[in-house]
Chain A
Amino acid sequence: MMLVLSGGGGERLGVLTAERAVSAVPFGGKYRVIDFVLSNCCHSGGERIGVLTQHAPTSLHDHIGAGRPWDLDRRGGGVTILQPYLTRSHAGWYRGTADAIAQNWDFIEERHPQRVLILSGDHVYRMDYRALLATHLERRSSATIAVTRVPADQTRRFGMATVDREGRVTALVEKPERADTPFASMGIYLFDTEALGELIQSKPVDMVLDVLRPMLQAGGRVVAHEFQGFWEDVGTVGSLYRANLELVAPVPRLVLDDQRWPILTRDEERPPVRIGSSAILEDSLVANGCRVSGAVRRSVLSPGVSVEAGAEVVESVVMSDVRIERGAHVRHAILDKYVRVGAGAEIGSGEPPQHREHAWLEGLTLVGKDAVVPAGARLGRAVMVGVGATPGSFGDGPVDAGTVIPSRVWHEVSE
């Protein structure tokens, strides 16, 4: 039994998660973030998978559907969406990772799994969970936590796990400034159902604070399993951007076209990429359905993007059906689906803003779904354009670094 936590709203992804969960964010040209975990499940022999959703789940539900792309549309088992629900005695929302599991305990128990694997849908990596299971069985642990080495200056982004010489976890610290261990917890936990079931009785909220820590304190066997491949939590603008650009590195650490471990997704039927006579395409990943007559460098383009002659896209991530018109320049940017960049517009030029409140954007400009950037507009760095923004919202002069242009609700737009 595998449970994928996909409820996260990703406040640190700004407009990209205004209408979708982190797990549903497009990634790598034609995938969604959750495809990596679902493909891992599928290739690791997982046959029963629950996906727990909460924040703006429509996009994720559409994507997963009956689970066909992952061969999870089965008569017995397969994929089940587990949404927060109401009962007569209690109301609703998942208050934390452990609470989400606790509220679905009936679903788990009815199926009598010996073990429960808890995963996050917000991570990009390729992992064979059977290796984790092997560690779990060999070490006879009650809980096995996947860990990966992170640089010392990154510890404040992660939950850090102290591991003794035998590989047992002795302490778990959330997001410390400094840590005496290189191992970050990947948010992947394999539990014996019985051990987890006991702790679930106490109405836990958080997996680390209310389940794993008490387990450690009670002397339970919690073992670490080290994972050495590429792994990235794409819950922030910077990490989402860097993980995308990793795919176009000269020697990428994340490989998409391994025939033995393909990343499966709900593919749209689109024609091959059409390339015009004056196009330049270098160090880029471009999906079917794109039309390129301009220049694309160190960028990732999702299906149906059109880059017209004289336009240039550099070091950017561009999602489905975006149109970049003649002579427009886009750099250091993430453009969400259906964005239109008018002729000659410039996005992401100049210096990033210095003010701390913009730091979370890491100098990247975000343009929300359906926004129309008017011809000739100048958008500086770390600008955030809201979903459905219309040309009128941009004002006349250049848009300074760090500016936020508000979203427009589509049925209220009267332009």
Chain B
Amino acid sequence: MRTTRYAFILAGGVGSRLCLLAERRAKPAVPFGGKYRIIDFTLSNCVNSGIFDIGVLTQYRPTSLNQHIGTGRPWDLDRNRGGVQILQPALGMLESDWYQGTADAIYRNLIHLRRRRTDQVLILSGDHVYKMDYNVLFAFHTAKGAGVTVAVTEVPESQVSSFGILETDANGRVIAFREKPKSSPSRLASMGVYLFDRESLIRWLVEDAEDPGSSHDFGKDLLPRLVARDAGVYAYRFGDYWQDVGTLDSYYEANLAFLSKTPPLDLADPDWIIHTQSADRAPVRFEHGGRVAESLVANGCRIAGRVERSVLFPGVTVARGATVRDSIVMHDTVVGREAVVDRAIVDKEVHVGEQAVIGSGEARTPNRACPEHLSSGLLVVGKGARLPARLKVGRNARIGAFVTESAFAGDVPAGGVVDGPESMH
């Protein structure tokens, strides 16, 4: 009898290097590609691979993610049997209630495996942009007789220190697993995609939970230990596009890559649709005198100004005489008449006043508050901010969510910071 497949998606990511974008939402809920959220890629991979029984583990700021996933309708996951279930940390589960690490998060949800007839358990991350048929991974796992299979992708040498790096023998068996090494002879990075044998997974997680020296993380603790013990850890090499949009710069580059003549993923592939929760919006309205080039523009937008090399999410208005250039502008933001937005990531529902210039001048001064994440010339504007008419904002600046016109004493210099009201807890 065919077993049903089950996948856990780890969606608790804090995304601290995404700065403002992930301040009020978990990283998987960050908007991407003109209409999607990052987690849409993983959820769509599941359903396109025939996996219709999914638990999504949340922890950090889950509201946005919960709303997005809802009952799972867009992915056909609103089902009588299976479907999608949000698994939040619950009080009273054990002595300490929050998830300690990724392995701990799964350990605390092992109960969800109890009544499921599944021989393998797929564990995914909701943080990455890629299209992958997990059936191939299942086939590889079975063919190798693996205890656990880790999907890996090749990364540039400069990035090995950001990932879990694996070394393999000629047969694909993993002989070393090091989390974020300074350097490594290997460039194979873990994609955060693990396929476990069910019984082994349960045994290993129970063992890890009882280990007081463990930080209860797959990459830091469990997988290195299994490799050291030679417990049948295999690496499956994935050759296609896979992107970790962990930093503001990589987020920006990954979005803008979709504007090229040969985008990294075909979002229009009818055989591998990326499903998302989309509100009913009218088609894009291009008005008289508008000019648009090399851009992605989603339904519900109204364009009367200029848009160049930019990604516009649903419902953005670009008024007459306004210019949006080299930017990412999220849902329902309004760019007022003759305003300019240049090399900026503008979150949802922002209002840019008339003739404001958001992004101009020198790009050498890094951001005062987060110099390590905001120094390449990009600037970020948080959700719901209201930027007054004729305001000038320098590069590498950070404007907090929900700031109002009165929060601005004058123009914002390069690297400047305008903080929003304390976020509600």
A269 touching B287, Cβ below 8 Å: no
User: Is B212's beta carbon under 8 Å from chain A?
Assistant: no
Q: Which residues of chain A from 286 to 305 have a CB within 8 Å of any chain B CB?
A: 286-289, 291, 296, 300-301, 304
* Chain A residues bordering chain B, tally (CB within 8 A): 39
B298 touching A272, Cβ below 8 Å: yes
Give the contacting residue for B292; candidates A250, A257, A279, A300; CB below 8 A.
A279
A286 touching B282, Cβ below 8 Å: no
A284 to B283, CA, bound (A): 9
Q: Which residues of chain A from 250 to 276 have a CB within 8 Å of any chain B CB?
A: 250, 256-257, 262-265, 267, 269-276
Of the listed residues B34, B283, B286, the one surrounded by the most CB atoms of chain A closer than 10 A to its CB is B283
User: Is B12's beta carbon under 8 Å from chain A?
Assistant: no
B283 touching A283, Cβ below 8 Å: no
B275 touching A301, Cβ below 8 Å: no
A279 to B259, CA, bound (A): 13
Q: Choose, from B2-10, B266-274, B416-424, the stretch at the interface.
A: B266-274
B34 touching A277, Cβ below 8 Å: no
A245 to B123, CA, bound (A): 50
Given contacts A28-B283, A257-B282, A285-B284, contact A271 B34 (CB under 8 A): yes
User: Is A29's beta carbon under 8 Å from chain B?
Assistant: yes
* Chain A residues in 8 Å Cβ range of B292: 275, 279, 281
A250 to B320, CA, bound (A): 13
User: Is B92's beta carbon under 8 Å from chain A?
Assistant: no
B283 touching A285, Cβ below 8 Å: yes
Of the listed residues B274, B286, B292, the one surrounded by the most CB atoms of chain A closer than 10 A to its CB is B286
Give the contacting residue for B35; candidates A271, A275, A282, A304; CB below 8 A.
A271
CB distance from A11 to the nearest CB of B (A): 29
User: Is B74's beta carbon under 8 Å from chain A?
Assistant: yes
* Chain B residues in 8 Å Cβ range of A304: 268
B283 touching A29, Cβ below 8 Å: yes
User: Is B264's beta carbon under 8 Å from chain A?
Assistant: no
A30 touching B299, Cβ below 8 Å: yes
CB distance from A173 to the nearest CB of B (A): 38
A287 touching B284, Cβ below 8 Å: yes
Q: Which residues of chain B from 250 to 299 have a CB within 8 Å of any chain A CB?
A: 267-268, 273-276, 278, 280-299
Q: What band does the interface of chain B fall in when counting residues whose beta carbon is under 8 Å from A?
A: 35 or more
User: Is B33's beta carbon under 8 Å from chain A?
Assistant: yes
* Chain B residues in 8 Å Cβ range of A263: 280, 282
B282 touching A264, Cβ below 8 Å: no
Number of A-B contacts (CB under 8 A): 108
A283 touching B298, Cβ below 8 Å: no
B280 touching A269, Cβ below 8 Å: no
CB distance from B86 to the nearest CB of A (A): 22
* Chain B residues in 8 Å Cβ range of A291: 268
A-B contact pairs, 22 of them (CB 8 A): A29-B283, A30-B283, A250-B287, A250-B288, A262-B281, A269-B274, A269-B275, A269-B278, A270-B268, A271-B268, A272-B34, A273-B297, A273-B299, A274-B295, A285-B284, A287-B283, A287-B284, A288-B35, A288-B299, A289-B268, A291-B268, A304-B268
Chain A positions within 8 Å of B, measured between CB atoms, are 28-30, 69, 248, 250, 256-257, 262-265, 267, 269-289, 291, 296, 300-301, 304
CB distance from B230 to the nearest CB of A (A): 44
Given contacts A281-B290, A288-B283, contact A269 B74 (CB under 8 A): yes
A30 to B268, CA, bound (A): 16
A275 touching B294, Cβ below 8 Å: yes
Q: Which residues of chain B from 287 to 331 have a CB within 8 Å of any chain A CB?
A: 287-300, 302-303, 307, 311-313
A275 touching B283, Cβ below 8 Å: no
Give the contacting residue for A286; candidates B286, B296, B311; CB below 8 A.
B286
CB distance from A28 to the nearest CB of B (A): 7
A270 to B274, CA, bound (A): 8
Give the contacting residue for A283; candidates B33, B273, B288, B296; CB below 8 A.
B288
Q: Residue of A at shortest CB range from B75?
A: A269
A257 touching B281, Cβ below 8 Å: yes
A265 touching B294, Cβ below 8 Å: no
* Chain A residues in 8 Å Cβ range of B35: 271-272, 288
Of the listed residues A69, A264, A281, A301, the one surrounded by the most CB atoms of chain B closer than 10 A to its CB is A281
A269 touching B276, Cβ below 8 Å: yes
* Chain B residues in 8 Å Cβ range of A279: 292-293
* Chain B residues in 8 Å Cβ range of A288: 35, 283-284, 298-299
Given contact pairs A272-B313, A284-B285, A284-B286, enumerate 15 new A-B contacts (beta carbons under 8 Å). Answer: A256-B283, A263-B282, A269-B274, A271-B35, A271-B267, A272-B297, A272-B298, A275-B297, A279-B292, A280-B291, A282-B289, A285-B285, A287-B299, A288-B283, A301-B283
